[in-house]
Structure 1
Amino acid sequence: MEIVIVPAERIGDLAAGAVVALLARKPDAVLGLATGSSPLSTYAALAERHRRGEVSFARARGFLLDEYVGLAAGHPERYREVVRRELEDSVDFAADAVQGPDGLATDVPAACADYEARIAAEGGVDLQLLGIGTDGHIGFNEPGSSLASRTRIKTLTPQTRADNARFFASPDEVPHHVLTQGLGTIREARHLVLVATGAAKAEAVHAMAEGPVSAFCPASVLQLHPHATVLVDEAAAGRLVLADYYRHTYAGKPEWQGL
């Protein structure tokens, strides 16, 4: 796991740079798209780079990390709508190139199995963007999730619903259930890029990177991945014991390596 500690305003551009570099060498790459507040600066940076003619998504495909269960099609907080609004509308993805799990499915197990099959049919995810919850969840894999889990339905914890309430008119509107790629699914992506900012994420970042690999902190599964990049600002890095070493390592990293 590579931990990069930089000012918050640089994080989106660094993550976007990894996507741009990937698409330069593999224009038909498969991207894993997260939602929430963490990836927004990355999407804004990608939109700007596309506007400048530096990157094209015309041959790329995308798969959403997760989706709320029960939000009507077109609901502004449905993750399919969020990704359309924050990224797709500003770049040149082909029609239907971005897919998400079906949060309105009547047969949920079948919908989850189908989503796994669609990801596999595209050759798997090349680069997966991730955020991290204050309790250490990635996607909506709450504490206690199996480290080998696949796409499935999950019940949100009260803490996660409270954290996400800021996106809704009322806390009561936050759904109780979601469909999420599992930790086993996420681990199969070839490159994981996790973004975290702010002091509220510091304990989760510490548990993820320097604690034991445990279902208690689902994000700790990144320790088992051969190519995981964690981009954090100083506040989110505030509990890292080896922070000085991470800074030293990144400062001396050869530029050709990229992320």
Structure 2
Amino acid sequence: MKIIRATDYRDMSRKAANFLSAQVILKENCVLGLATGSTVLGIYEQLIQWYNKGDIDFSAVSTVNLDEYAGLSSEDPNSYGYYMNTNLFRHINIDPRRCHLPDGTAADLTAECLHYEELIQQLGGIDMQLLGLGENGHIGFNEPHQSFAQMTHVVELSESTRAANARFFSSEEDVPKQAVTMGVKRIMQARRILLCVSGQRKARILKEVLFGPVIPAIPGSILQMHPRLTVVADADALAEIRG
């Protein structure tokens, strides 16, 4: 595990973007596992800036996103497909046919999970997986549970997760109750993992994830077992971690 300390959100975003851009430069046809949410917005903004300067080329890159809400199409402003198009894909030279998310509108979500697993395998696996961290320790939409979820699956979102995401919807009632998400095993199979965390509200859970017991009640704790985990976090998020 390598912990990179950033002074603030902007610094965290720049440092994290450095790792992603280095991956693309070193392997131009790499597979990036991408995430959504407020934590990674600054990372995508930095990547767009570097693309506009001619410093990075995404033309051969493939992407697979962690998750998608059940029932939302990519045209829905609250979907993660819409988020990715708005905040990254349409601003860079990536081939839309190489950009993949679970289909939250699939008639058979179980079959869609199997299809997504097959897709990732056909791509050769994930070279670098970008992750944020939920306040209850979830990664992707892998919620606290009695066991670690394995591969891509349908998950019932916890009330705390739905409440945290309600700011993106008209009301908490509008937040979908289910999502399709990569499982913990799939995430851990990525060759490299980049965990990005910002803000005082994440300080307690980040300490538990990195230095507490590895238990499914804190899904992110499994990341301790990954041989190539890099954590980029700002001073507020690292407030309870010394050294």
- The Cα of 1:145 is off from its aligned counterpart by 6.1
2:90 aligns with 89
Residues 1-150 of structure 1 mapped to structure 2, 5 A cutoff:
1-8=1-8, 9-144=10-145, 146-147=147-148, 149-150=150-151
- The Cα of 1:147 is off from its aligned counterpart by 2.8
* TM-score using structure 1 length: 0.91
Q: Deviations over 1:152-193 (max 9, x none)?
A: 000111100000001111111100000000000000111110
CA distance in 1, matches of 2:56, 2:146: 36
Residue 4 of structure 1: SS of its match in structure 2?
strand
CA contact (8 A) 1:191 1:228 kept: yes
Gaps of 5+ in 1: 245-259
CA distance in 1, matches of 2:228, 2:81: 27
Residues 187-206 of structure 1 mapped to structure 2, 5 A cutoff:
187-206=188-207
Gaps of 5+ in 2: none
CA contact (8 A) 2:89 2:96 kept: no
Cα RMSD (Å) of the superposition?
1.0
Q: Which runs of 4+ in 1 moved over 4 A?
A: none
CA distance in 2, matches of 1:170, 1:139: 22
CA contact (8 A) 1:29 1:60 kept: yes
CA distance in 2, matches of 1:146, 1:93: 37
Identity, % of aligned positions: 38
Residue 96 of structure 1: SS of its match in structure 2?
helix
What code does the residue aligned with 2:239 have?
Answer: G
* TM-score using structure 2 length: 0.97
- The Cα of 1:148 is off from its aligned counterpart by 5.1
1:208 aligns with 209
CA distance in 1, matches of 2:197, 2:104: 26
1:257 aligns with none
